[in-house]
Amino acid sequence: MTARRLDRGGRIDRSKPLSFHWDGKALQGYAGDTLASALMANGERVLGRSFKYHRPRGIMSAGVEESGAIVTVGSGARAEPNVKATMQELFQGLEAQGQNAWPNVRFDAGAVNGLFGRFFSAGFYYKTFMGLPPFEWGQGTGLWMKYEALIRKAAGMGAASREADPDCYDHVHAYCDVLVVGAGPAGLRAALTAAEVGRDVILAEQDFELGGDLLNDPSAEPDRLALIEAVGRAGVRVMPRTTVFGLYDNGTAGMVERVADHLAEPAPYLPRQRFWTVRAGATVLAAGALERSIAFGGNDRPGVMTAAAGRAYLNRFGVLPGQRVVVATCNDSAYRTAGELAAAGAEVVLADARQRTSLDVPSGVRLRGGLAPLEAKGRSGVKSVQFARRTESGWQAAGSEYCDLLLVSGGWSPVVNLASHRGVKPEWNAELACFLGGDCAEPLFMAGAAAGIWDRGACEASGEAAAKRAMGIEAAGPAPGGWGAPIAPLYEVRLSGSKPKAFVDPQHDVTGEDVRLAHQEGFVSVEHLKRYTTLGMATDQGKMGNVVGLALMAEALGKEIPAVGTTRFRPPYTPVAIGALAGRNVHGHFKALRRTPLHDWNLRHGATMTDAGLWHRPWYFAKDGETIAEAYVREAATVRETLGICDVSSLGKIAVQGPDAAEFLNRVYTNGFAKLAVGKARYGIMLRDDGMVMDDGTTWRLAEDDFLMTTTTTGAGKVMVWLEELLQTRWPELRVHLTSVSDQWAGVSIAGPKSRKALAACLADPAAVSAQALPFMGVARTQLQDGTEALIARISFSGELAYELYVPAGHGEAMMNQLWGETSRLGGCLYGLEALGTLRIEKGHVTGAELDGRVTILDAGLGKMASAKKPYIGKVLQDRPELQRADRPQLAGIFPKDRSQTFNGGALLCRPDEGEGFGEGWVTAVTHSPALGHWIGLGYVAGGHEAWTGRTLMASDPVRGGPVEVEVVSPHMFDPEGERMHG
Amino acid sequence: MIRISCPFCGPRDHAEFSYGGDGSIEYPALDAPVQDWHDAVFLRENICGLQLETWQHVHGCRMWIKVERDTMTHEIRSVAPAHPGLAAALESGQ
C-alpha cells in the first residue's frame, strides 16, 4: 500500500485523533478527515464492488461525484446504505462497511460476473429474460419477476435497514432576498456583495467547511479566512453541511441540512437532518465544477482517480495518495496538481494528451507530451499504465509507466444541474468542452466555475457580478475560460477494433461499448440511450459520466455534441433520505387527529376507539371480559330492547342561513326542501354534477332562513367545499351564508323503545318530546334541566324510536352525565360504531361503504328520494340511459344460506359456476344481527334483489377464505315497514 | 412550488389552496339539455399555455378564486375572486 499520511500539511487536526471501524477493523483518522481520506491514509484501497460486474473499486474522487467508495455507514436501524465515503465526515466511533459484496469487498464471490461480462451488456435483462419462452407465451410475468428479484440481488447497491428509522427529522421554512448555493470563492464573494448592502442572504454549502476549491490551496488560506470573516460580519446566514438538492417554482429551493450525521453522540434534542424549504427572491448558483474522467481500459481500477481528487487528498487531508504517480490530462488544470505532488515527495509523470503546450512544466515533474492513458493494469489496484498516441489512423500503443496512482483529468463539467431543474437548457461550449447554463427567465444567476470560469480571481469577480444582478443592478461578469492553453477534448482512448472495459458511468457499470451497442440497436436519442444503458441513472445521476457518454454517442452518430443534446437533470442533486421528506409527519402525526367533545367522557366510560376519517370515535364499550363481537351484539340488542346512547358529535354540521337558504337546499338536494316546515327535519341526498350520489344526511329547519345541515362524518369537509363552490362560482345571486359548526356542538343519539323516557327526564320541559309535541322528523329547541340550550331532532338511523340531541360543545360532558344516569337507570347501554353499523345494516340504511362514488340514487334503492317536480344538481346526467339500465348493481341484503356461516365484507358475489370475471356484485358490509340471530350483509347485486329471488350466489373471497353460499334479500332486513321508529 | 396571491389574504403557498377545475366552464341551468351538461362536465381542453382555473383558499379565507396559470411555466397571470360581488367589494375597498 502506497498512500500514506504526511507528517504535516492539510487541514486535519492531528491533535484530535478519531478511531473508527471499517469492515470490523479498528482504524484511526483525524478531525477534519472524511471517511475516504481516513481510509486512504490507512492504506485501504478496495472499498467497494461495482454494480453489475462486482469489480473492485476504490476512491475515485473527493466529492459528491464519487462512484467507487460507496459504503454503508452505521448498523442496525441506523445503517445508511450508499453513503459516499468522500462526503462522510469522520467522527469518533464511526462504523462503516463495504457493500454489494460477499463475503467482503476484497474477496467477492459475485466477481465471477466479470468473467461473463460480455453477456451483461446494455439491455441485458430485457433481452435475456423477457425473451424466454414463458414470457413470450404471455404466462411468464411471474417468472420474470423471479428473475428480476435474482438480478436485483446480484446487481445492486447497499441494502436499506428493515427496521423503523429511530431518528427524527425537522421541516423548516425560510425566506431570504438572495440564496447563494456553494461557498467557494464565487459563492462567498456573492454572499458578501449582497449582504454588505443589507440584503438578507442565505449561503448553503454541502461541505462541512467553507471555501470550495480554496480548501485545496494552502496558499489561499489567509484570503479564505478573511472572506469568511467578512461574510459573517455582513450577517449572511451561513449553512454548512447543507445541500440544495432542487430548485422549484417561484424561487423555492429544497435543501437538506445534515445536523447530526457527523456527530459521535448527537444531543437527544437534535434532529438527524433538517429539510428546508427556502423561498428566495433571487438565487446565485456558485456550485462549482466537477472533473471528468476519460474512458480507457481499466479506468475504474482502485488507484485511478480524478486529478482534482489527488490534489484534495494531498492539500486538504494531508495524505500523499501515491508514491509513483502518473497524471494524465488534456487540459491545464492538472499541472499544478502534478507539481504539488512532486513537491510532497512523489515521483510524478505528467502525460499531456496535447502534443505541445506553452505551459511551464512544474519542477520535479517529468512531462510526456502527446500521450493518453490506454489501459490501467493491476487486478486490485493500478500497477502500471499503458499509453497511446493519437495518429492519423487512430490510437497507437506508445509505451507504459509503472505507477501506484493514476490521476486523470478529462476536462471539467460545470454544475448546471440546479439550473436544469428550472428548465434552463445546458448549451455546449466547444472551446471549453463543457455544458454551460443557457438563458434563464427567472432571477437565477450562475457564478464561478459553475459558469465555466476557471481562474480564482475571475470567480470572485463573477460572484460579485452575479450578486449585483440578483439585486437588479446591471453588472457584467468575466467571460468563461481562464486556461493558458486550450483544452484538447478527450473522451475515450482505445485501439481501433478493441473492446476494453472502459467505463463511462462506473457507478452503473456502463462502458463505452454499451453506448455503441445502444447506437447499433437503434437508440439514437440521448433520452433512449440513458434508459437503455442506464447511463447516468445511478445515485450520482451521471455527474462524472454523462458528458463522456454523450460524446461517444455523438461520435457513433457522426454528429457534434450539441446536435445530440443532453438529458435534463432532475432533483434531487444528491439523494435525500425519505425520513427527511416525512419530517415529523410520522406515527401519530401522520395525519391530523380529531377528537369529539365527548372523547374523554367516552374513554372514562370504557370506550375502545377506532378511526373514522380523521376522527377517533367509540368503537364499542366492552364490559369485563367481553370481546368486541360480544360487546357490539349486546349493545345492538340492548338498543332494540330498551335503549342506548352513542356519541355522534363527529357528524358534519353546516349552518345554512339567509333569505335564499331554502332555494339553495332545494337545488342541492334531490328531494324538495323549499316547503320544509320550520321545526321539521328532512333526510336529503345530494348528487355530484355527473349524477352519482355524493353524500346524505338530515337537514333541520330552525327558522324561515336558518337551516342546520348534517353530513356524514367523513363527507363533512367535501360537502362544505362543494356548497361554497356552488355559492361562489355558480349561483352568486343566492343570498346564503355557510358556517361550519361541526365543532360547536356535542351530539348524542338516543335510540330504543325507552329513548323518549330517558330524554324527557333530562329536559326542563319533559313534554317537549312527547309524541304530540315532537312527531317523527320533528325538531325542537329546548333546554336541559340545568338550563343548557339544546337542539333535538326525532330522527332515526337505527330504525328505533330515536332522537339526536345537541348541546354547545362545552356542555357535552354535563349532558352525557345526565343522560347516562337516566339511561342506565332504565337498563340502557352505551353503544359504539360497531353496534351503530349493525343497527343500520339490519335496516338497510346506506353509509360511506355503500355510497362509494360509483352509485346512483337508483342503485342505492333511494329512487323515491329523487324529485320529478324540480331540477337539482346531478338530475340531468343521472338520467343518462346507461345509468337507467335495469341490470345495474343495486342495493340488496345478503344472508348466508347456512345461517350459521359468516362471510366477508368486500367479497365478490358470483354465480356458483362463475370461476373468474367480475362477478354479479359485491358485499359492502357484514355484521351479526342480534335481531335476526345470524350474520347478515349489505351489498350490490346486478338487477337488485328481486332478480335473484330463490337463487344462490357465492360470496367469493379467495384471499381470505373459501366461497360461502349466500342468498339475496331485500335490503330492509328488519322492520321493513318502519313501525318501530314511527311509534 | 406555485405561489398564489389570494385577493383577501395576500401571497400564499399553493399548499394552502385546493385545485378546483376548469375555470372557463359555464355550467348550464339545472334543467338544461343533457348534451349541455355532458359537455360541461366531461369535455376538457388539455391546454399547453395559459389556462383559466378555479382554486379555493381552503386553508385560509375559503374564497373560491379564478386563476390564469400557464401550464408550461406555472406562471400565474391573474387571480380574482370567483364571486363577482366579492370581486367588486374588494375592488372598491369595502
Flag whether pLDDT at A133 surpasses 90. no
CB A86 within 8 A of CB A63: yes
In A, which residues are within 8 Å of B31 by CB distance?
871, 875-876
Cell representation of residue A837: 353499523
Query: In this model, does residue A134 exceed pLDDT 50?
Result: no
> What mean pLDDT comes out for the span A704-731?
97
Provide the phi-psi class of A511: left if phi over 0, else alpha when psi is between -120 and 50, else beta: beta
Q: Does B88 touch chain A (CB under 8 A)?
A: no
A87 vs B2, which has greater pLDDT? A87
CATH value of A652-740 in 3.40.50.150, 3.30.70.1400, 3.50.50.60, 3.90.1150.10: 3.30.70.1400
Tell me the nearest-neighbour CA distance from B24 into chain A, angstroms.
11
The highest-confidence range among A110-119, A229-238, A908-917, by mean pLDDT, is A229-238
Question: CATH topology of A652-740 equal to that of A840-875+883-982?
Answer: no
Q: What is the pLDDT of residue A126?
A: 56
Q: Which residue of B has its CA nearest to A878?
A: B34
Nearest CB neighbour to A725, from listed B2, B20, B74: B20
Residues from chain B contacting residue A728 (CB–CB below 8 Å): 63-64, 81-83, 86
CB spacing of B1 vs A728 below 8 angstroms: no
What is the average per-residue pLDDT within A446-473? Answer: 97
A872 interaction partners in chain B (CB closer than 8 Å): 30
Domains in chain B, start-ordered, CATH in brackets?
3-91 (3.30.2270.10)
- Decide if A721 touches B, using CB distance below 8 A: yes
User: In this structure, are residues A643 and A740 in contact, taking their beta carbons and an 8 Å threshold?
Assistant: no
CB atoms within 10 A of CB B59: 13
pLDDT at A982: 82
Task: Quick: pLDDT tens for A687-700.
Answer: 999 999 999 999 99
Q: Percent of chain A beyond pLDDT 90?
A: 83
Average pLDDT over residues A900-904: 95
Residue type, A483: W
Angle (deg, nearest 10), helices A546-557 and A526-533: 120
Q: Name which of A342, A334, A336, A350 is nearest A293 in CA terms.
A: A334
- To which residue does cell 402525526 refer? A589
Whole-number Å distance between alpha carbons of A351 and A386:
11
In the numeric block, which cell numbers belong to residue A514?
Answer: 454499451
A30 to each of A116, A239, A317, A628, how far by Cα in Å? Answer: 42, 23, 9, 61
- What's residue A154's pLDDT? 55
Residue matched to cell numbers 445515485:
A539
Query: Rounded to a whole number, what is the distance in Å from the CA of A497 to chain B's nearest CA?
Result: 47
On chain B, the residues whose CB falls within 8 A of the CB of A730 are: 27
Residue in A279, A423, A873 closest to B30 by CB = A873
Cα separation, A640 vs A638, whole angstroms: 5
Residues A169-289+413-470, CATH architecture: 3-Layer(bba) Sandwich (3.50)
Cβ of B34 within 8 Å of Cβ of A871? The answer is: no
d(CA A257, CA A255): 6
Q: Which residue ranges make up each domain of chain A?
A: 1-162, 169-289+413-470, 293-410, 496-557, 598-650+744-828, 652-740, 840-875+883-982
> How many angstroms separate the CA of residue A701 from the nearest CA in chain B?
24
Listed residue (A22, A21, A38) closest to A30, CA to CA? A38
Query: What is the CATH superfamily name and number for domain A598-650+744-828?
Result: Probable tRNA modification gtpase trme; domain 1 (3.30.1360.120)
A728 and B84: CB-CB below 8 Å?
Answer: no
Q: How far apart are CA A976 and CA A1, in angstroms?
A: 90
Position of cell 469568511?
A228
- Assigned CATH topology for domain A1-162: Ubiquitin-like (UB roll) (3.10.20)
Q: Is A675 helix (H, G, I), strand (E, B) or coil?
A: coil
Single pTM value for the model: 0.88
B81 touches chain A (CB under 8 A): yes
DSSP string, chain B: --EEEETTTEEEEGGG-EEEEETT--PPPTTS-HHHHHHHHH-----SSEEEEEEE-TTTT--EEEEEEETTT--EEEEEESSHHHHHHHHTT-
| Closest-CA residue of chain B to A278 | B1
Q: What is the C-alpha to C-alpha distance for residues A631 and A1, in angstroms, rounded to an integer?
A: 74
Cis preceding-peptide flag for A572 (omega within 30 of 0): yes
Cell numbers found for residue A817: 352525565
Nearest Cα residue in chain B from A870: B31
Minimal CA separation from A542 to chain B, in Å: 26
Q: Which residue of A has its CA nearest to B81?
A: A728
Residue A844's closest CA among A909, A895, A803, A778? Answer: A895
The percentage of residues in chain A with a pLDDT greater than 70, rounded to a whole number, is 95
Return the pLDDT at B91.
86
Contacts A279 to B, Cβ<8 Å:
1, 3
Q: Which of A191, A354, A197, A193 is nearest to A280 (CA)?
A: A191
- Per residue in A340-361, pLDDT tens? 999 999 999 999 999 877 788 9
Q: What is the pLDDT of residue A439?
A: 85
B28: burial class by Cβ within 10 Å (0-12, 13-18, 19+)?
A: middle
Nine cell digits for residue A825: 337507570
Residue numbers in A near B63 (CB within 8 A): 728
User: B64 and A725 in contact by Cβ < 8 A?
Assistant: yes
Which residue in A has a C-alpha nearest to residue B57's C-alpha? Answer: A721
Q: Average pLDDT of A212-234?
A: 97
Residue with the bigger pLDDT between A706 and A914: it is A706
pLDDT of residue A138: 47
CB A873 within 8 A of CB A687: yes
Taking one residue from A and the other from B, the number of pairs with CB-CB distance under 8 angstroms is: 67
Q: For A293-410, CATH number?
A: 3.50.50.60
Mean pLDDT of A882-887: 94
- Strand, helix or coil at A900? coil
At a CB cut-off of 8 Å and minimum separation 6, what does A712 contact? Answer: A651, A652, A695, A696, A697, A847, A848, A851
B32 touches chain A (CB under 8 A): yes
pLDDT for A131 equals 47
CB–CB contact A728 B86 (8 Å): yes
Task: Tell me: pLDDT of A964 over 90.
Answer: yes
CB neighbourhood size of B83 (10 A) = 20
Check pLDDT > 50 for residue A135: no
Strands A13-22 and A95-97 come out as parallel
Confidence check: pLDDT of A785 > 70? yes
- Phi and psi, residue A298, nearest 5°: 70, 25
Identify the band that residue A961 occupies on the pLDDT scale cut at 50, 70 and 90: confident
SS3 A73: strand
Mutate to test the interface with A, among B2, B58, B64, B73 (most CBs of A within 10 A): B64
Strands (E), A80-136: 80-84, 95-97
Give A721's contacts in chain B (Cβ within 8 Å).
18, 56, 58
Residue type, B17: F
Cβ <8 Å between A876 and B32: yes
Check: CB of residue A512 under 8 Å from CB of residue A494: yes
pLDDT recorded at residue A658? 98
Q: Which of residues 868-907 of A touch B (CB under 8 A)?
A: 871-873, 875-877, 879-880
Domain A840-875+883-982: assigned CATH number: 2.40.30.110
In sequence order, the 6+-apart residues with CB closer than 8 A to the CB of A498 are: A297
CA distance A374 to A201: 48
> What are the pLDDT digits (tens) for A753-772?
999 999 999 999 999 999 99
- Select the residue of B30, B33, B40 nearest A872 (Cβ to Cβ): B30
